[in-house]
């Protein structure tokens, strides 16, 4: 049986008086790609932001490598090996590509040159534009920069919030092939994505969230063939 790197148990998250997440439980095995799919407002982003320490849950447990990380601040969680690629990329537009990447390693005090080389190997376009301001990059290049910046913290678990949002289909394919490559290098990935087809085709395991609850789960390929999933999320 696979080692579980992240375990979510009965997680509840409220925004004001609204229950965004209503007691969900799921595991992320080490070395896997796990995806959460669902419509807008299903609780996907709330789940990732809570794991990252940006939102305080109302109840439940979040265990990373066997330790409950609820109550830890975001920087401590990054130090433990959990990083978030946020929705909308959130790069620093006035800083260069190189500076944006170095900011990803701000909690490290070791040599980052090998990781910088790996990011530039994964994303040759970033290397070509390393002294260009982040804000002048295309949407796809900014997404690559957001992923590269997250990799600079040398994560064990990378969480990605809607990496394909607003990108052309060809660029989406590029991003997902990079996700597979990062995973092959040993990084576990928890992905939320509106492009259910790409997400389920890529993921080892998938969970369907509807209004704050998990309604379906199974291997990605199995959910891809599920009639209810096809009708609700795949347009077939």
Sign of the torsion formed by the C-alpha atoms of 51, 53, 58 and 59: positive
Taking only the tens place, the pLDDT of each residue in 42-67 is 899 999 999 999 999 999 999 999 99
pLDDT at 117 over 80: yes
Average pLDDT over residues 136-154: 92
pLDDT at 150 over 60: yes
- At residue 212, the pLDDT reads 94
Residue 210's beta-bridge partner residues? 213
Region label for 128, one of left (φ > 0), alpha (ψ between -120 and 50) or beta (otherwise): alpha
pTM (predicted TM-score): 0.92
Go through the domains of the chain in sequence order and give each one's CATH number. 4-234 (3.40.50.300)
- Output the average pLDDT for the chain: 92
pLDDT at 236 over 60: no
């Amino acid at each position: 049986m696979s080692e579980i790197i992240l375990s979510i148990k009965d997680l509840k998250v409220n925004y004001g008086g609204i229950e965004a997440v209503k007691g969900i439980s799921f595991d992320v095995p080490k070395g896997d790609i796990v995806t959460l799919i669902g419509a807008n407002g299903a609780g996907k982003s709330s789940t990732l932001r809570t794991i990252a320490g940006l939102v305080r849950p109302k109840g439940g447990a979040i265990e990373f490598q066997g330790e409950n990380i609820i109550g830890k601040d975001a920087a401590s969680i990054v130090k433990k090996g959990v990083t978030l690629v946020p929705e909308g990329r959130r790069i620093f537009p006035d800083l260069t590509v190189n500076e944006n990447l170095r900011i990803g390693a701000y909690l490290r005090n070791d040599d980052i040159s090998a990781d910088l080389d790996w990011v530039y190997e994964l994303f040759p376009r970033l290397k070509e534009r390393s002294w260009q301001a982040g804000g002048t990059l295309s949407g796809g290049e900014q997404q690559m920069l957001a992923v590269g910046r997250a990799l600079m913290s040398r994560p064990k678990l990378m969480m990605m919030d809607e990496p394909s949002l607003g990108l052309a289909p060809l660029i989406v394919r590029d991003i997902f092939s990079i996700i597979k490559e990062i995973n092959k290098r040993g990084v576990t990935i928890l992905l939320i994505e509106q492009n259910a087809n790409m997400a389920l085709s890529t993921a080892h395991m998938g969970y369907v969230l509807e209004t704050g609850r998990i309604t379906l789960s199974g291997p990605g390929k199995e959910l891809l063939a599920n009639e209810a999933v096809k009708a609700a999320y795949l347009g077939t």
